Amino acid sequence: MEVRARAPGKIILVGEHAVVHGSTAVAAAIDLYTYVTLGFPTPSDNDDTLKLNLKDVDLEFCWPVGRIKEVLPDLGSHTTSSPSSCSLETIKAIASLVEEQNIPEAKIGLASGVSTFLWLYTSIHGYKPAKAVVNSELPLGSGLGSSAAFCVALSAALLALSDSVTLDFSHQGWQMFEDSELELVNKWAFEGEKIIHGKPSGIDNTVSTYGNIIKFKSGELTRIKTNMPLKMLITNTKVWRNTKALVAGVSERTIRHPKAMDSIFSAVDSISSELASIIQSPVTDDLAITEKEEKLEELMEMNQGLLQCMGVSHASIETVLRSTLKYKLSSKLTGAGGGGCVLTLLPNLLSGTVVDKVIAELESCGFQCYIAGIGGRGMEISFSGSS
C-alpha cells in the first residue's frame, strides 16, 4: 500500500504586516501543490531503513531504523491522536542524525525540513522502515507557504497509514479527510512548522490543510469560501528577503510615527474586511464578476500603496508593478515584501494573448511566473497498490 498526499501553497491577499499590529488579513490557498508519497517495504524487500527522497533538489537520505531508535529512544511511544511539541533536547538529537547525512553546503537550508520529517515520521510511525518521496510545484523560501505545504502533506500521508484516521482505500483519485481528521493533520503540521520556523503563526498550515480562504485578526482564524472564480499571476522576483528585519522595520516606523501608522493599519483593516465581503457575496453573471474584479483591483492597489508607506516594497517589486500596469493590470506584493512574490489579478475576461505578453516581459527581467487559481481545495490524498 502506498499513499500520496498533496497540500496547496498560500498567498496573503491583503493585510500583511498590518496584521501584526491588530489589523485583519486575508490568506488563500493556491492550486500549486507539494506532494508526498509514502510506502512501507514488504518483508521480502529485506529493507530496514527509513529513506527520504527530495526529488526537486536531487537529494536522498537514508537512516537504519536501529540508528534512529538509538538516538531517539522515546519518540516511538507518542500518541498519534494528540500531538505534542518537539523538545529542544529532541531537536538537538535529530540534528545529529541530519548531520550524519552530510548535506551539501549549498543546500544546508533544507536541514530543518529534514529534521521535521524525522520527527513527524518517528512520532507517528515509530521505527518502521519506509520510503518517502517529496516533490513540489512551489518555489522554496518565496513566501508561498512551501514549508507549511510540506508539513501538511507529510502529516496527511503519515496519518493516512496510521490507525488514527478512517479512509476508503479502494477510492479512486483524490479524497479528503473528515473535519476532525483535518484538525489532527493541522495540529501535527503546526508542530512541524515550529521546528522549521520557531514561532509560526499557524496561518500557513491552516490554509494548506483546509484550503479556501482564511480571514485572520488578533490570533482568530475564520474560514471563508469564495463565490467567484479568482485567478492570479504570481511573479517570483527571486530576491531573498529577511522577514524578521522587514517586520522589525515596520515596528520601528510605528514607534517613530504612531498616529500616521495607526491610520495606515486602520485603512488596511477596512480593505481586508471589504475584500472578504466581496469574495463571499454571491455572483449572478459575468457582469457581476467583472464589477467585483474591478473593486478587488482597487483594493489591491490601495493595499500596495499602504505597504509602500510601511517601507516594505523593493525595486524588484516596483518593476513588476510597472510592467503589469502597462496592460492595465493591478498588482501588489504578497507576504513580507522586500522582494519575494507579487500578485497580479487576472480578470475573468482577460485574453490569453495579453497574459502571454505580460509573462514574457516579466520573465525577460529574470523573474519566474506562475498562474494559479485562488481559494481552492485543501489537503487531499490518494492510494495505490494493494493492502
- Distance, in Å, from the CA atom of 167 to the CA atom of 179, rounded to the nearest integer, reads 13
Q: Is 204 a catalytic residue?
A: yes
Given a contact cutoff of 8 angstroms between Cβ atoms, the answer to whether 63 and 128 are in contact is no
> Is the Cβ–Cβ distance between 134 and 54 less than 8 Å?
yes
With 0-12 CB in 10 A as exposed, 13-18 as middle and 19+ as buried, what is 282? exposed
**β-pairing verdict for 25-39 and 331-334:** unpaired
How far is residue 83's CA from residue 187's CA, in Å, rounded to a whole number?
Answer: 7
DSSP3 helix / strand / coil % (the chain, rounded to 5): 45, 20, 30
Long-range (24+ apart) CB contacts under 8 A made by 176-184 are 176/377, 176/378, 176/379, 176/380, 176/381, 177/379, 177/381, 182/209, 182/210, 182/378, 182/379, 184/81, 184/83, 184/159
Beta bridge mates, 235: 342, 369
Is 5 strand, coil or helix?
strand
204, 262, 286, 356: the catalytic one is 204
Other Cβ atoms less than 10 A from the Cβ of 57: the count is 14
**Which among 7, 18, 22 is positioned nearest to 336, based on CA atoms?**
18
- What count of other Cβ atoms lies within 10 Å of the Cβ of residue 143? 25
CA distances from 238 to 189, 232, 366 (A): 26, 18, 8
Residue 384: CB atoms within 10 Å: 12
- Active-site amino acid positions: 204
